[in-house]
Structure 1
Amino acid sequence: MPLTRSTDNNPNPLHPGGIYLLLYIRDTDIAQGFHWALYHHHDGGRGGYKFNIRNFGGSGWICDSAPAANIMAGFLLAGALRIGHCDPGRAGEDLVWIDSVDLSVAPEPYGVLTCRTWTLGCVRGLVARGVVRCADVDKLEEEAGRWGVAQHRGAREGEQPRPVADSVSCMLG
């Protein structure tokens, strides 16, 4: 899988309009898994928008989405895996629904609501809208999990910059 790291000539290897899966380590123990989120990159100067949910003290899930600058310097970020593209000028039309996803029920086809199943449910919605071109979201989940495991040590040790890669499960243009 092509791996991109920032260089002095390109301090931000994220593609304008790129849609990324973000994986964050939860613990030094890799068995604790990852926190999953989505990110839509606008451009290097404006950053982008992070789509995210968090468990609110065990009493339920809350939407924690917000504009984000310098996303690649995020604490505990394993890395960013590019899965699609949405023109930043169309984000209000093509992506606005994500923050309205019901947080009281598990997304189909999952039996439980977690940050992972919410993110993958949103990916399925992006596939249905043609923003992400991925024939098998389950295969993408496996790819992202393997990729995250490979990046865990670097995130744990605070290496910068964090890696960016293109998914092999998605068609990128």
Structure 2
Amino acid sequence: MPTKAPTIIDPRLVDGGFYLVLFIRSDTLEAGFHWAAYHHIDQIKGGVKHHIKDSNENGWMYEAMQTRGILKEFLLLGLMRIGRTPDAAIIENAMKSVSYISDQVPEGYDDLNCRTWLLAVFEQLRKAGVVSAVGVDEIEKEALKWGEEEFEGANMARIPRPIIDSKDCRA
């Protein structure tokens, strides 16, 4: 009996693509977004979602999770491609280079949260040539504007969720 070929995840995802992922937090825009990153390996394997989350009693914790289901995640707003690399080790090293310990705020920020931690990681990846933006401030501004524009669609659970390229993405 022939084996069934694995289904592709979504043809809009670029192999080796590095994405900023936004999630809505509630049904109001004022609650802001949860920020994560996703490195898409390929259409068969999927990729790795990276983020920090507040565990309340233990502070922030880093999570790297292999997934083929990034587009099925609860409260997903969408994915914005900001770079590209086939080398997962570069991504992993950058994630581990930025502290997520509560009393160690990323340089240039007033506090530690999923957004400031991820922006500090993006800066490391920008210096390494993976993230192709002029600076992380531009990524943040573009992501917040895009998040506001797509909020209603995410809140109404419209599918498919958007996958876009950052205006500065040259990969």
The alignment's TM-score, normalised by the length of structure 1, stands at 0.88
- Correspondent of 2:170 among 153, 169, 172: 172
Residue 99 of structure 2 corresponds to residue 95 of structure 1:
no
The separation in 2 between residues aligned to 1:36 and 1:58, in whole angstroms, is 21
What is the correspondence of 1:147-162 to structure 2 with a 5 Å cutoff?
A: 147-162=146-161
Residue 139 of structure 1 corresponds to 138
CA deviation profile, 1:68-100 (whole Å, cap 9, x unmatched): 11211211110000000011xx212x1121342
What is the correspondence of 1:10-159 to structure 2 with a 5 Å cutoff?
A: 11-57=10-56, 59-87=58-86, 90-92=87-89, 94-100=90-96, 101-104=98-101, 105-159=104-158
Unaligned stretches of 5+ in structure 1? 1-8
Give the number of equivalent residue pairs. 161
Unaligned stretches of 5+ in structure 2? 1-7
RMSD over aligned CA atoms reads 1.6
CA deviation profile, 1:123-164 (whole Å, cap 9, x unmatched): 001001111121121121010001011111111111111000
Deviation beyond 4 Å, 4+ runs, structure 1: none
The sequence identity of aligned pairs, in percent, is 37
| Deviation of the 1:58 alpha carbon | 5.3
Instruction: State whether residues 52 and 61 of structure 2, in contact with CA within 8 Å, keep that contact through their aligned partners in structure 1.
Output: yes
Larger relative contact order (Cα-Cα within 8 Å, sequence gap ≥ 6): 1
The structure with the largest alpha-carbon Rg is 2
Instruction: State whether residues 81 and 169 of structure 2, in contact with CA within 8 Å, keep that contact through their aligned partners in structure 1.
Output: no
- Look up the equivalent residue of 1:15 and give its one-letter code: V
SS at match of 2:169: coil
The separation in 2 between residues aligned to 1:120 and 1:99, in whole angstroms, is 11
| Deviation of the 1:111 alpha carbon | 1.7
